């Protein structure tokens, strides 16, 4: 389908400068609780609007945004709409990449790119504000989302990634010129449903040197770049735990090194942290606090890891600022005003997609933390999403890489396993070794089982057990933990790993219910077992593990085998009553006795 480059004023969203457009008047009336727009005090509202816009006039002069359907399926992350999807394939054609140009208090909107048969989404603006990166899917069956770039000066469009049956989306410019994006190129299926999984990838500006950064169980979404040049993103995970609540905020370096939790990886709350962006100069982040089985919308909030990193310790609802309860709700934040895609202009002012309570579609708003808001653009027939100022911004520092693709291992250093709450109550000296386990995630969903209990219900596609683990686990080996609690060892790179703390008899005292992935040649360290990232290791002489250096993994001790460890127990205590020594014959029904006749030799 041909693409149309437009430079027209859209009547439905045109904001003439002579008087407030109808959409703005209607929003003012809604905020004031007035049924009649004629009763709106225009002068007072224009004065307030002028006060809000003035500090950011240069950055608000031009704003890029998209028009498309509200993203999300039965779960917030299911937005790939793949042409060969196994199950859910959400795709509603009709979309535009738009430019809002403000002139004084109001402005006009024109389409930079319009596609009635496809969907354009996920814009990002280059640091010099000359190019726009975006994802585009042109049709349901003959195309998939891939990355494109529009040069604003001449309207030139170039395609960066390609491949039918692969979805590339949510792209962002990295400070060194490369790109980071979400992609289904990992070819995995969600453990608890039949939908494709997206992990984080990177490539250069022309789509070359494409490589995988995350090796994660299910979805990682919406990477954005922080002022210090790192990447924050949402990671959904549930290794040996429930699947609904852990959708926390993670951070890593552009080369994939340093992947670690930033907020909420051991929390019920917030249920899902979406669309997070760093607030420059603050160490805080603005995000959408949303739910699990929801679309990508919810309430607006601030994350401040300095105040705490779990539950509501560092989480604050804003617009308006109000008490923030650590709730345990699947479909969190789905009532009242709905927010998406916040973009920070300051510590207290944000561009955002907002759907006021009772309104059918999202519009582009300027909002403040205390709840003031001004409508900048809207459309009566479709949502306006993903606003980004089309203005130059500082280029974050380019970080030197630690990745060495000539290697296939990385190094882990543990300072003291007893630091942190992970082994609270376990006497020092109890832990003698760490077991290292690799996770293997499924490529396709085959079969299912379901379970229910106090923690809720779950469906497991391609089950490996009944009411047991989600994924296949491969024991790689063990490494000693020294008397001072330290350990240092090498592990396979580009492999999701978790650790188990073992006592002298090889029994597990604690299991890590997340995972860590190292890039080739990377060295990572941790203070202890689930220690607070707001703390530093205690000052002391170098640990024994540091003096000894990294060790290769030794053999698993004891061996971990169903046939060796579990089957003998079944043989001793269960098989005698359940074994069938003779092949069972067909049963029959005796109408005279009204009983089922069981053939001889079959267990009753």
What is the structure's pLDDT at 219?
A: 96
Residue 529 pLDDT grade (very low, low, confident, very high; cuts 50, 70, 90) = confident
Six-digit token string for 209: 């040197």
Strands laid side by side in the 373-377 sheet: 338-344, 349-355, 363-368, 373-377
Q: CA-based angle 157:159:163, to the nearest 5?
A: 155
Name the strand (E) or helix (H) holding 576. Answer: helix 575-578
Q: What pLDDT, on the 0 to 100 scale, is given for residue 566?
A: 84
Tell me the per-residue pLDDT of 337-358, one tens digit each, with 9 for 90 and over.
999 999 999 999 999 999 999 9
Tell me the C-alpha to C-alpha distance, in Å, between residue 350 and each of 49, 233, 256, 388. Answer: 14, 19, 29, 10
Rounded (10°) CA dihedral 269, 302, 79, 182 = -110
Taking the C-alpha atoms of residue 521 and residue 497, their distance in angstroms, rounded to an integer, is 16
Residues 6 or more apart whose Cβ sits within 8 Å of residue 26: 37
Asked if the bond preceding 450 is cis, omega within 30° of 0, the reply is no
pLDDT of residue 278 exceeding 70, the answer is yes
CA distance 181 to 357: 32
- Tell me the average pLDDT across 292-298: 96
Yes or no: say if 128 and 392 are a contact pair by the CB < 8 Å rule: yes
pLDDT digits (tens, 9 = 90+) for 553-565: 998 866 667 788 8
Quickly list DSSP for 135-185. EEE--SSS---EEEEEETTT--EEE----TT--EEEEEE-TTS-EEEEEST
Listed in sequence order, the residues at least 6 apart from 498 whose beta carbon sits closer than 8 Å to its beta carbon are 239, 437, 439, 511, 512, 513, 514, 515, 516
> What is the model's pLDDT at position 337?
98
pLDDT average, residue stretch 558-587: 73
Q: Kindly tell me if the per-residue pLDDT of 601 is higher than 60.
A: no
Does residue 528 carry a pLDDT above 60? yes
- Residue 412 confidence (pLDDT) above 90: yes
pLDDT of 89-134, one tens digit each? 999 999 999 999 999 999 999 999 999 999 999 999 999 999 999 9
Taking residues 437-458, what's their average pLDDT? 84
Directed axis angle between helix 42-53 and helix 22-32, to 10°? 100
Region 22-389: CATH code:
2.120.10.30
pLDDT of residue 12: 38
Domain residue ranges in the chain: 22-389, 409-559, 563-597
Least confident among 231-245, 311-325, 332-346, 487-501: 231-245
Contacts of 574 (CB under 8 A, 6+ apart): none
Report the percentage of the chain scoring pLDDT > 70.
Answer: 91
User: Which one, of 441, 410, 390, lies nearest residue 525 by Cα?
Assistant: 410
What pLDDT does 561 receive? 73
Say yes or no to pLDDT of 580 above 70: no
> Which of 64-73, 302-311, 449-458, 481-490 has the least mean pLDDT?
449-458
All residues at 6 or more sequence positions from 126 whose CB lies less than 8 Å from its CB, including other chains: 132, 133, 173
pLDDT score of 540 more than 70: yes
Q: Provide mean pLDDT across the span 567-576.
A: 85
In the structure, what pLDDT confidence band is assigned to residue 241 with cuts at 50, 70 and 90? confident
Q: Name the most confidently modeled range: 48-62, 454-468, 540-554.
A: 48-62
Closest-CA residue to 223 (of 266, 166, 265, 178): 178
Q: Cα 326 to chain center, whole Å? A: 20
In this model, does residue 11 exceed pLDDT 60?
no
Compute the C-alpha angle 211/216/219, nearest 5°: 100
pLDDT band at 406 (very low <50, low <70, confident <90, very high): very high
Least reliable range by pLDDT among 128-132, 157-161, 453-457: 453-457
What pLDDT is attached to residue 10?
A: 33
> Is cis: bond before 135, omega within 30 of 0?
no
Token duo for residue 490: 């090498």
User: Distance between CA atoms of 244 and 235, rounded to whole angstroms?
Assistant: 12
Q: Cα–Cα distance between 42 and 21 in angstroms, integer?
A: 11
pLDDT at position 539 is 74
């Amino acid at each position: 389908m041909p693409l149309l480059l437009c430079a027209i004023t859209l009547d439905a969203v045109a904001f003439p400068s002579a008087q407030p457009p109808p959409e703005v008047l209607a929003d003012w009336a809604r905020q004031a609780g007035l049924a009649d727009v004629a009763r709106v005090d225009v002068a007072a509202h224009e004065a307030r609007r002028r006060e809000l816009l003035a500090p950011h006039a240069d950055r608000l002069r031009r704003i890029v945004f998209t028009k498309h359907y509200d993203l999300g399926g039965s779960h917030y992350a299911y937005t790939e709409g793949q042409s060969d999807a196994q199950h859910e394939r959400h795709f509603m054609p009709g979309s535009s990449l738009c430019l809002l140009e403000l002139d004084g208090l109001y402005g006009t909107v024109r389409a930079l790119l319009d596609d009635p048969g496809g969907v354009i989404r996920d814009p990002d603006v280059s640091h010099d504000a000359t190019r726009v990166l975006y994802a585009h899917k042109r049709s349901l069956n003959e195309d998939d989302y891939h990355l494109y770039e529009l040069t604003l000066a001449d309207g030139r469009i170039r395609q960066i990634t390609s491949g039918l049956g692969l979805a590339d989306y949510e792209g962002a410019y990295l400070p060194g010129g490369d790109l980071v994006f979400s992609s289904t190129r990992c070819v995995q299926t969600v453990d608890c449903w039949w939908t494709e999984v997206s992990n984080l990838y990177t490539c250069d500006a022309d789509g070359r040197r494409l490589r995988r950064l995350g090796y994660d169980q299910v979805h990682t979404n919406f990477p954005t770049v922080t002022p210090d040049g790192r990447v924050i993103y949402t990671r959904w995970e549930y290794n040996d735990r429930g699947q609904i609540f852990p959708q926390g905020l993670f951070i890593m370096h552009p080369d994939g090194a340093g992947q670690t939790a930033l907020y909420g990886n051991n929390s019920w709350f917030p249920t899902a942290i979406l669309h997070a962006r760093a607030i420059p100069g603050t160490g805080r982040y603005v995000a959408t606090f949303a739910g699990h089985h929801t679309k990508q919308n919810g309430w607006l909030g601030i994350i401040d890891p300095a105040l705490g990193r779990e539950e509501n310790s560092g989480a604050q609802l804003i617009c308006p600022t109000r008490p923030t309860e650590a709730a345990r709700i699947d479909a969190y934040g789905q009532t009242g005003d709905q927010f998406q895609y916040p973009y920070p202009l300051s510590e207290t002012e944000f561009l955002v997609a907002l759907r006021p309570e009772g309104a059918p579609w999202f519009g582009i708003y300027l909002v403040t933390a205390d709840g003031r808001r001004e409508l900048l653009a809207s459309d009566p027939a479709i949502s306006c999403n993903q606003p980004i100022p089309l203005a130059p911004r500082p280029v974050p520092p380019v970080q030197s890489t630690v990745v060495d693709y000539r290697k296939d291992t990385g190094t882990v250093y543990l300072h003291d396993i007893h630091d942190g709450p992970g082994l609270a109550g376990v006497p020092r000296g109890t832990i003698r070794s760490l077991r290292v386990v690799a996770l293997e995630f499924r490529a396709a969903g085959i079969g299912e089982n379901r379970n229910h209990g106090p923690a809720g219900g779950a469906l497991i596609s391609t089950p490996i057990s009944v009411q047991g683990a989600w994924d296949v686990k491969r024991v790689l080996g063990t490494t000693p933990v020294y008397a001072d609690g330290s350990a240092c060892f090498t592990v396979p790179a580009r492999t999701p790993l978790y650790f188990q703390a073992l006592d002298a008899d090889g029994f597990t005292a604690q299991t890590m219910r997340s995972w860590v992935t190292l890039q080739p040649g990377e060295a990572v360290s941790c203070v202890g077992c689930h220690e607070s990232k707001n703390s530093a290791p205690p000052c002391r002489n170098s640990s024994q593990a540091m003096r000894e250096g990294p060790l290769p993994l030794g053999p698993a001790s004891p061996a971990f085998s169903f046939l060796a460890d579990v089957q003998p127990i079944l043989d001793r205590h269960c098989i005698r009553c359940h074994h069938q020594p003779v092949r069972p014959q067909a049963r029959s029904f005796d109408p005279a006795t009204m009983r089922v006749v069981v053939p001889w030799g079959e267990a009753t």
